[in-house]
Each structure stands twice: as structure tokens, then as C-alpha cells.
């Protein structure tokens, strides 16, 4: 295959099309290894996810071998082994990759030994996929000595290379929580100065657009390596569909938002290591739990699908924005929900169960900042929990009511590191500390604010212990029965795929002592 300078506008040519421009920056290997691409169906790598004590999901997606090819169902073989050389095969089988699901493959395994690492790969014809590592969780009744959890979000293609993923792999986590904005739906900006790379895909609105977008993002070798390193638990935020969408409400200039949304959701499923149970008749069910024995019970939350529309949102606006509370009576309406009432009840039941089962750490893997963030101007952001104050009070009340042993919130969305003492009453930031919050910065997406402004917010919010907008990176949580340690990792230069990384800050939460302390 040769790269044409003016590719035909054929969608199936998009790999060439997208990378012709992207090649100005670091070229993904498949972009120049064009002949290999034609014959390597595993160009998007492998992944695993949603581990239980006896299984997990293995994922891959077969790339078409060329225009017009691969139109029917394809059979894929898979292998799970104790060793990287696949001498000691534990399980093997076949799966069918359906064109209706973009030839994605989701293999669910059960009956494996708890608390064990495995290797896996897929085979199709002569092609063998890269090898992935995955693992089972410890048994439900065990108290593991430690777990290393990584959390990350927001990987805008243009804003940065994925050195953060490289360093995350070196840190050898047991599980990665991805907290939203896996893709961004936009076209590349017209002004490319300061960008790490550009692409030529159109603004995503159709199923093939979204498939192309995931194919582009997943072409990145550092992202592929992070998927291959350990199982992930993924949730989405808005950009997997459209900026600041809320439930069934999208931008007013999108004729058929619901068609766009279902196309986007399907593409999300096709590209993520999700269980079939996630795939419902109406869309995807993403709120679910993962458990690491009795050490950590993780509640993954869907904060887009079921939310009420942002308070006082203007239909023509491109984003939800912020309001003065006195100008927007809707803000305080107690009937409004961010999770939706059914998911609120599900979470409340789950926290009650954590208390009964004596989970050491209850983890809420949500997608934005829970702690209040009062702006000095008096404005409130309407797309985050600040825009749903009554729903937040209900959640805080639920957390307090179950007298959980320890509660830690993880989040993303704001492209900034926020470390907070979560007050029991969001209206009184100096109230008793109920929980600890680590809202992580982005893998690559820019913050869109300045550190001066963020520093002013910190001075205005005594429960905010750290807020930084200038770093890109990820969070690591080292969890033991006695202590939770969060390490905020940052890359030196987000514009370089080979950037180094450093530790920005480290915070500790002691068992039964809510609130992070700087270590
Ligand atoms: Fe984002
Ligand atoms: Ca947004």
C-alpha cells in the first residue's frame, strides 16, 4: 500500500487519509507498514476488562483487510495461558466476529482461579494478535494485602501524545479505571500550532464516523500497550457522543440526536472490553460494580445517560456553561438528578451492601468532581455535580447514612487534578469530612483555564487541598487494608510520545480517617 497525497473520500480509505496528515508527528507503526495493515486484522490491539474473581472479558476487533473485504461473520480463535509463550494453555475457544458489531470480539471467561495473572491472544488465519496480560480479582471473602489501581480520563488526540499510558504501564497496575472521554468527536482545529498531531476525520455523527474515530485513537501503540497490560473498567463521559449532552438532550442543531447517540454508544461497545450484559435493548448499561475481595468495592457510575438536562441550559449553546444560582431557580430543583433516580437507588443499595459486607474501601468511580467548587465570581458550573446540588446532597446523605468504613471518590472530566476533603454537607465546606476525593487530570486534553484562576478557587474552597491544571498524566492508588496512597503522576511534555514522567504529589488516607493528607 502506498500513501496517496490526496486520498479519495472513500471511508474505507480513512486509515491512509487520517495518517497522511498525522504523519507530520510520530507515525503509528501501522501507518507506514501499509502492507502489514492489509493482512494484519489485529491492528487495533487487544484488551480485557471487568474482572471478577473467576473471569473477565477479552476483547479485540478485526480490521477489514481492504475495501470490500470482510463483509460477513469471521471466526476468531482465542487462547488464555499461564505463560507468555502459550505453552501452558488454560483455555482456548472460538468466537464469531459479526459485521453488525464492526467485527468486534468480546469473549467472557468464567471458572478461572482467583487472584491470578494470565496471558491471552487471538488468532485469525495466519495472523496472531499481540499478547495481552489480564488477571482475575481476589475471591470475595479474602482481604488482599494490596491492590494497585490506576485511574485516567480524557485523551484528546490532538492535544497530546500518550506518554502517560507508557508510564502507567511501567507502574504495573492491577486494574485501570478509565473515567470518560476516550475519544473526542471533533474535527482537528484549523490552527494546528501547539498541537501534538492532527487527523482528517469529519465531526463524528454516524456509526461509521465513530468506528473510524475509535480506529484512529486505538491505532496509538502506547494506548494499545496500556490495554494489553492489565484489565480495565471503563465508563464514558460526554465526548464519546457529543460535548455536554444530557440524557436524550443534545445540541439543538443536531437533527436527530437520538440516532447519533445510539450510533456512538454502539461504537463504544464495539471498542471496549464490556460484558454482553452491558448491551441492552435501549442502549448500554454501564453502571456496575467491581470488587477486589473485601479490600475495595468499586462502583462505576454512568453520569450521562440518565441525567436531567443542565440547569438553565440555552438550547443554542455549544456547552452547558455556568450560572449565578439566583438567576437560575431550576438549579435547586430537588427532582433533578445527575445519575437518574434508578441509578441513585442502585448506588444507595450498593453502599448498604458495602457496609454489610464490611468492604474496607468503597470506591465511587464517577466521571467528574463531586466536591463543591465555588467560583470567586459566584458562578456555578452546570455540567458537574455543582449543577445538581440536590442530587449531590442525596448522595452525601446516602454515603453518611451507611456509615461506610472508608469512601474514596475518583473522577475526571475537568482535566485538572483536584484533591479534596469531601464535606458531609456541600453547602458547608467546613462541615465534617465524609470522604476523600481524587479527581484526576487528563491523559492529554488541555484544561482550558490558568493556574492563577485555579489558585483563586483553592483560596475560596477550604476543602480543596490541591488543584492543578497544568499537568497531564494519571493517578495511581496503592490500596492496603490500613492505608490508601494516591500518587499523581505527570508527564514532562505532553507533545512528546517519549516524554518522561514525574510524581506531582502524593496523598495518604488512613483507614477510618476520611480526608487525604499530603505525604
Ligand atoms: Fe475531557
Ligand atoms: Ca463537556
pLDDT in tens, 326-346: 999 999 999 999 999 999 999
Whether residue 68 has pLDDT greater than 50? yes
Distance 159 CA to ligand 1 centre (A): 11
Distance 120 CA to ligand 2 centre (A): 36
Confidence of residue 320 (pLDDT cuts 50, 70, 90): confident
Confidence of residue 70 (pLDDT cuts 50, 70, 90): low
Whether residue 255 has pLDDT greater than 80? no
Higher-pLDDT residue of 220, 9? 220
Whether residue 304 has pLDDT greater than 70? yes
Shortest-distance ligand to the CA of residue 445: 1
Q: For residues 275 and 272, give the distance between their C-alpha atoms in angstroms, rounded to a whole number.
A: 9
Ligand 2 is an ion; its neighbours by CB within 5 Å are 238, 243-244
Shortest-distance ligand to the CA of residue 411: 1
pLDDT at 33: 39
Shortest-distance ligand to the CA of residue 412: 1
Distance 413 CA to ligand 1 centre (A): 5
Distance 249 CA to ligand 2 centre (A): 13
Confidence of residue 59 (pLDDT cuts 50, 70, 90): very high
Whether residue 398 has pLDDT greater than 60? yes
Confidence of residue 67 (pLDDT cuts 50, 70, 90): low
pLDDT at 363: 98
Confidence of residue 8 (pLDDT cuts 50, 70, 90): very low
Q: Are 320 and 387 in contact (CB under 8 A)?
A: yes
Whether residue 98 has pLDDT greater than 70? yes
Q: For residues 409 and 512, give the distance between their C-alpha atoms in angstroms, rounded to a whole number.
A: 15
Whether residue 38 has pLDDT greater than 50? no
The set of residues, in sequence order, having a beta carbon less than 8 Å from that of 317 and lying 6+ positions away, is none
pLDDT in tens, 470-501: 999 999 999 999 999 999 999 999 999 999 99
Distance 155 CA to ligand 1 centre (A): 7
Whether residue 277 has pLDDT greater than 80? yes
Nearest to 420 by CA among 440, 403, 405: 440
Distance 438 CA to ligand 1 centre (A): 16
**Cell numbers found for residue 4:** 496517496
Confidence of residue 11 (pLDDT cuts 50, 70, 90): very low
Distance 43 CA to ligand 2 centre (A): 30
Mean pLDDT of the chain: 91
Q: What is the mean pLDDT of residues 273-277?
A: 96
Distance 252 CA to ligand 2 centre (A): 16
Confidence of residue 252 (pLDDT cuts 50, 70, 90): confident
Percent of the chain with pLDDT over 90: 86
**Cell numbers found for residue 189:** 482545529
The set of residues, in sequence order, having a beta carbon less than 8 Å from that of 326 and lying 6+ positions away, is none
For the chain, the distance separating the N- and C-terminal CA atoms, rounded to the nearest angstrom, is 54
Q: What is the mean pLDDT of residues 338-361?
A: 98
Q: 159-189: b or e for each residue (b if 16 or more CB lie within 10 Å)? A: bbbbbbbbbbbeeebbbbbbbbbbbbbbebe
pLDDT at 34: 39
pTM of the model: 0.92
Percent of the chain with pLDDT over 70: 92
Q: For residues 201 and 185, give the distance between their C-alpha atoms in angstroms, rounded to a whole number.
A: 9
Distance 63 CA to ligand 2 centre (A): 30
Q: What is the mean pLDDT of residues 233-244?
A: 98
pLDDT at 39: 58
Q: For residues 134 and 56, give the distance between their C-alpha atoms in angstroms, rounded to a whole number.
A: 8
pLDDT at 268: 98
Amino acid at each position: 500500500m502506498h500513501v496517496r497525497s490526496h486520498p479519495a473520500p472513500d471511508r474505507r480509505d480513512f486509515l491512509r487519509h487520517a495518517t497522511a496528515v498525522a504523519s507530520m508527528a510520530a507515525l503509528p507503526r501501522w501507518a507506514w507498514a501499509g502492507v502489514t495493515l492489509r493482512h494484519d486484522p489485529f491492528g487495533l490491539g487487544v484488551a480485557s476488562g471487568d474482572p471478577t474473581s473467576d473471569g473477565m472479558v477479552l476483547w479485540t476487533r478485526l480490521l477489514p483487510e481492504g475495501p470490500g473485504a470482510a463483509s460477513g461473520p469471521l471466526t476468531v480463535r482465542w487462547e488464555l495461558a499461564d505463560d507468555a509463550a502459550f505453552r501452558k494453555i488454560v483455555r482456548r475457544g472460538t468466537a464469531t466476529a459479526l459485521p453488525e458489531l464492526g467485527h468486534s470480539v468480546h469473549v467472557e471467561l468464567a471458572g478461572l482461579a482467583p487472584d491470578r495473572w494470565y496471558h491471552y491472544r487471538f488468532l485469525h488465519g495466519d495472523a496472531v494478535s499481540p499478547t495481552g496480560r489480564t488477571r482475575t480479582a481476589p475471591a470475595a471473602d479474602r482481604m488482599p494485602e494490596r491492590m494497585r489501581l490506576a485511574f485516567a480520563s480524557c485523551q484528546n488526540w490532538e492535544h497530546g501524545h500518550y506518554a502517560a499510558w507508557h508510564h502507567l504501564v511501567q507502574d504495573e497496575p492491577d486494574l485501570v479505571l478509565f473515567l470518560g472521554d476516550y475519544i473526542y468527536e471533533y474535527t482537528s482545529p484549523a490552527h494546528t500550532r501547539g498541537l501534538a498531531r492532527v487527523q482528517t476525520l469529519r465531526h463524528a455523527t454516524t456509526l461509521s464516523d465513530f468506528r473510524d474515530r475509535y480506529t484512529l485513537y486505538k491505532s496509538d501503540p502506547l494506548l494499545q500497550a496500556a490495554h494489553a497490560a492489565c484489565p480495565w473498567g471503563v465508563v464514558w463521559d460526554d465526548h464519546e457522543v457529543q460535548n455536554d449532552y444530557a440524557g436524550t438532550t443534545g445540541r439543538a442543531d443536531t437533527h436527530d440526536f437520538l440516532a447519533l447517540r445510539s450510533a456512538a454508544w454502539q461504537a463504544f461497545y464495539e471498542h471496549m472490553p464490556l460484558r454482553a450484559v452491558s448491551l441492552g435493548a435501549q442502549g448500554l448499561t454501564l453502571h456496575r460494580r467491581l470488587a477486589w475481595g473485601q479490600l475495595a468495592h468499586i462502583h462505576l457510575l454512568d453520569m450521562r445517560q440518565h441525567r436531567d438536562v443542565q440547569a438553565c441550559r440555552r438550547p443554542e449553546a455549544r456547552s452547558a456553561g455556568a450560572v449565578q444560582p439566583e438567576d437560575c431557580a431550576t438549579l435547586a430543583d430537588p427532582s433533578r438528578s445527575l445519575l437518574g433516580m434508578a441509578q441513585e437507588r442502585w448506588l444507595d443499595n450498593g453502599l448498604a451492601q458495602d457496609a454489610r459486607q464490611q468492604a474496607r474501601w468503597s470506591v465511587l468511580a464517577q466521571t467528574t468532581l463531586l466536591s463543591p467548587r465555588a467560583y470567586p465570581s459566584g458562578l456555578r458550573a452546570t455540567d458537574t455535580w455543582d449543577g445538581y446540588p440536590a442530587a449531590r446532597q442525596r448522595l452525601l446523605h446516602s454515603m453518611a447514612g451507611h456509615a461506610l468504613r472508608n469512601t474514596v471518590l475518583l473522577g475526571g472530566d475537568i482535566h485538572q487534578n483536584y484533591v479534596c476533603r469531601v464535606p458531609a454537607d456541600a453547602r458547608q465546606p467546613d462541615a465534617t469530612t465524609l470522604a476523600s476525593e481524587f479527581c484526576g487530570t487528563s491523559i492529554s486534553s488541555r484544561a482550558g483555564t490558568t493556574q492563577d484562576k485555579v489558585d483563586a478557587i483553592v483560596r475560596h474552597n477550604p476543602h480543596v487541598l490541591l488543584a492543578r491544571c497544568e499537568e497531564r498524566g494519571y493517578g495511581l492508588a496503592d490500596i492496603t487494608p490500613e492505608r490508601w496512597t494516591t500518587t499523581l503522576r505527570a508527564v514532562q511534555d505532553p507533545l512528546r510520545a517519549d516524554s518522561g514522567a514525574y510524581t506531582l504529589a502524593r496523598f495518604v488516607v488512613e483507614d477510618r480517617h476520611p480526608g487525604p493528607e499530603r505525604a
